[in-house]
Chains A and B, each alone.
Chain A
Amino acid sequence: MQQLDAGSVQVLTSLKSSTAQTIGEPKIVARDVSVYYGEKQALFDVDVNVPRNSVMAFIGPSGCGKSTFLRCINRMNDTIPIARVEGKIAIDGQDIDDPELDVVELRARVGMVFQKPNPFPKSIYENVAYGPRIHGLARNKADLDRIVETSLQRAGLLKEVKDRLQEPGTGLSGGQQQRLCIARAIATSPDIILMDEPCSALDPIATARVEELIDELRQTLTIIIVTHSMQQAARVSQRTAFFHLGVLVEEDETSTIFTNPSDQRTQDYITGRFG
């Protein structure tokens, strides 16, 4: 790993200690997942286990299939008419394609945060309250208020917005909007959150806030984050999966991926030979 710059190595070594803990049964198990967009195959037989209450980062060059795989986990690919998913994904041992399982319920349990902050053009309160309301998670108004407050609290946004809950969510800054989206995702009390490059549209300070937040949420949630920034993957994740041309090349502890990858392609990517 002589190619890595000194700063990254320092970050990696400091992370090593925290990632060592082993976790019991994996939260998400994927077997032979392939995705086709029409005739074109975008993802080839992905096998991966995502451990409980940890952060897993998906890295890889653009168009490598990492977002595609992420969107399989809450079946967002269903909304694309030409997409076809094969293989099995199970959450807590339950197949997500099980006809017994309602896709709407699945999406409430598997929250998602998108690349560009996309709050609804409604008030801050309504943004967070929408999910709990449509799923009937609150018995009354006070209950809903409590859920909104807790979610904003957990997203680290409450202090900044508590006086202007009725103002439009779109009036917040980019970083605040993204944390509002995270608050919206955790308001339906999911146990998994999928993040699709959540910091790519944010400035470094806002990025740092979101990364802190991810680290806190990891205590109770399983998080998968797609990122283009290898530093970010190194900073926030315990395990990292490297995708290339629709193939999951390698998946291991983050420190191992960044210091001693077993595949030449991973090595080439993290040292900046391509991508």
Chain B
Amino acid sequence: MTDTTLGSTGSGHDWSSPASRRRVKRRYAADRRLQFYGIAAIGTAMALLGVLFVSLIQAGYAAFTTTKVELSIFLDPAAISQEKPGEANYRRIVRDAFKAYFPDVTGRSDERSLYKIMSSGSDYIVRDYVVGNPGKIGENVKILVPVSDPFDQLYKRIIPRRIDALSSDRIALFDALKQQGVLSVEDGAGVAKVSVFIDPAKVPSEGGVAAADYDAMIKDGLRSYFRNEYSRSYEEIISATAAEKLQSVVAADPSVVGKIVEVKLPLAANYDNLLQTGQATIRNPRFGSDVEFAWFDSLEKRGLIATPFTWELFFNADSRFPELAGLAGALSGSLLALLICFVLSFPIGIATAVYLEEFAPKNRTTDLIEVNINNLAAVPSVVFGLLGLALFLNTFGMPRSAPLVGGMVLALMTLPTIIVATRAALKAVPPSIREAALGVGASRHQVALHHVLPLAMPGILTGTIIGLAQALGETAPLLLIGMNAFIPSVENIGLTEPAMALPTQIFSWADSPERGFVSRTSAAILVLLGFLVMMNLLAVYLRRKLERKW
């Protein structure tokens, strides 16, 4: 339709010429391409974010429940005094209560294995319960105490009871041997029928066949079945008792020395299993013995195992035991540090920005300051940490690991962000408002304080909250000033007390070898992300609420 109505115009350009139409087509194609790039970029970002969240939730959700065992304890007034309920031997009380579930277990080492099922912190949990409820002394109470980390992980099916004993390349070696038809089962035991050369050189003249190096002979014999294999890990396939077997063969018939004999050698235990059952597993080394599983299963069968929500994650302080570790210390440390950060950076940042934007003359000095502020926003945070270490800790001698210093370092880091955001917000206030205020005779500070600053406030607050959210997630500067102290109690919280912060807590948990800290780490990251999302929502809310039209 377009080509018939438009066609050639009088101006000399033929809008319907093929070249023109091609150009239009190319332009549309370019539009679509640009859109596609944008959508593809957003899609990639969303997908990666999705992967991050899925993996965090997968790893972290387990930490939001704790496997606990119900103890029924008689709080014996003879053992626990009313006056000093905190000083009884709770370890004994807890262990006796637990032992009561297993009357059959006797012997010190068995008992010790039994108590390993409970968390080492159980004593303190019961003590805290009694101290909190002294009226219960003399009664029978039921208290949930966490089980120890391996059983927690076992119950949540994060770790298995048995793990593969052999790696895939060992199994490949085994299969290679099997294909050569030398493996068989005889009298319930796996054997390998191997040709071994009874090397006279390995039979010493002194001692004769009794002292010969049969082990070496077997290894040499095996060699011929693995011509292309250099690792020698195939030697494990044959049991260590094979040498004795060969010795008995040779001892029975010394004439075989110097000849090749075919002997049936026993397989090592794991390979024997593999041959007979098709799989080779061993008990997970995190557990002491198989009887522990039976004990735990019996607890489960009796309905004594429960998995309530882990309030401890928010109310406990850090611990060496993952089933007891919580974020209370880290949350309070982060909160205090952020408070200091806000109290310092908000007024200083706004004052700086207002001066630079509204009052400062435009000259070389202010240009230099401006450039430096913009560059400071890009300085790696670890540098601020070093500055804090050198200045606040070493020069001023302020307390190490304290939220006060952490907050000061974070404030240094947040200041440029706040200044830049505030200046942008001030710039966005329309000049007509300044003119109006000047026009009725407002002085410059009145223009700034009465009109420009209130109008810029939504932008300033947004920038501040974004800056604080950034500070909340900052790890490196806090590590440098030592805000990764191990704080196992929430009793001493203060600006100058040693403390932990959320990101440093995550860092330290991520470093811990216990399996339970893996999910604890992910859970802590989820908590941190939750706080960041809340702060950003607050920023959006404040902007919506305070934004005024002009």
- Chain A residues close to B by CB (< 8 Å): 74, 76, 79, 81, 104-109, 111-114, 116, 118-121, 130-131, 134-135, 168, 170, 181, 184-185, 187-188
- Within 141-171 of B, Cβ neighbours of A (below 8 Å) are at none
CB of B40 within 8 Å of the partner chain: no
A76→B439 contact, CB < 8 A: yes
Which B residue sits closest to A128, measured CB to CB? B440
B495: shortest Cβ distance to chain A, in Å? 39
Interface size class of B (residues with CB under 8 A): 20 to 34
* B433 adjacent to A108 (CB under 8 Å): no
Tell me which residues across on chain A come within 8 A of B441, comparing CB atoms.
104-109, 131, 134-135, 188
Q: Which of B417-448 contact A (CB under 8 A)?
A: 430, 432-443, 446
Query: B432: nearest residue on chain A (CB-CB)?
Result: A118
Contacts of A119 in B (CB 8 A): 436
A197 to B550, CA, bound (A): 20
Q: Return A143 CB to nearest CB of chain B, in Å.
A: 17
Q: Is the CB of A118 within 8 A of B433?
A: yes
A79 closest partner in B (C-beta):
B438
- List the 9 closest A-B pairs by CB distance, nearest first: A108-B441, A131-B440, A112-B439, A118-B432, A107-B441, A121-B548, A118-B436, A121-B550, A104-B441
In the complex, what's the smallest C-beta–C-beta distance from B460 to chain A, in angstroms? 16
CA of A170 to CA of B430 in the docked complex: distance in angstroms?
A: 14
25 pairs, CB–CB < 8 Å, chain A vs chain B = A76-B438, A81-B361, A105-B441, A107-B438, A109-B441, A111-B440, A112-B439, A114-B432, A114-B435, A114-B439, A118-B430, A118-B432, A118-B435, A118-B550, A120-B437, A120-B451, A121-B455, A131-B441, A134-B440, A168-B548, A170-B548, A170-B549, A185-B439, A187-B440, A188-B440
Q: How far is the CA of A118 from the CA of B440 in the complex (A)?
A: 12
Docked complex Cα distance between A109 and B439 (Å): 10
Contact A76 B440 (CB under 8 A): no
Decide: B435 and A76 in contact? CB cutoff 8 A. yes
Contacts of B451 in A (CB 8 A): 120
Interface centre among B430, B434, B437 (most CB of A within 10 A): B437
Most buried by A among B430, B441, B442, B548: B441
Decide if B450 is an interface residue (CB 8 Å cutoff): yes
Q: Which residues of B contact A76 (CB under 8 A)?
A: 435, 438-439
Decide: A104 near B450, CB < 8 A? Known: A118-B435, A120-B436, A121-B548. no
Q: Does B362 contact A (CB under 8 A)?
A: yes
A64 to B446: give the CA distance in the assembly, Å.
32
Those of B321-356 within 8 Å (CB) of chain A: none
Question: Which residue of B361, B436, B549, B550 is within 8 Å of A114 (Cβ)?
Answer: B436
Q: How far is the CA of A112 from the CA of B442 in the complex (A)?
A: 12
CB-CB nearest in chain A for B549? A170
Of A106, A120, A168, which is in contact with the most chain B CB atoms at under 10 Å from its CB?
A120
B432-474 vs A: 1/0 string, CB under 8 Å? 1111111111110010001100010000000000000000000
Q: B440 and A107: CB pair below 8 A?
A: yes
Q: List the B side residues contacting A74 at CB < 8 Å.
A: 439
- The answer to whether A104 and B442 touch (CB under 8 A), given A121-B549, A130-B450, is yes
Contact A104 B443 (CB under 8 A): yes
Contacts of B438 in A (CB 8 A): 76, 79, 107
Contact of B439 with A170 in the complex, beta carbons under 8 Å? no
Chain B residues with CB below 8 A from A131, complex form: 440-441
CA distance A134 to B443 in the complex (A): 9
Contacts of A107 in B (CB 8 A): 438-441
Which residues of B have CB within 8 Å of A105? 441
Which chain B residues lie closer than 8 Å to A114 at the CB level?
A: 432, 435-436, 439
B434 to chain A, nearest CB (A): 8
CB-nearest residue of chain A to B444: A79
Assembly CA distance A121 to B550 (angstroms): 6
Q: Please name all residues of chain A whose beta carbon is closer than 8 Å to the beta carbon of B450 when the two chains form the complex.
A: 130, 134
In the assembled complex, the CB of A85 is this many whole angstroms from the nearest CB of chain B, namely 16
Bound Cα distance A116, B440 (Å): 16
Bound Cα distance A43, B550 (Å): 32
State A120–B435 Cα separation when bound (angstroms). Answer: 10
Question: In the docked arrangement, what's the CA distance between A11 and B496, Å?
Answer: 82
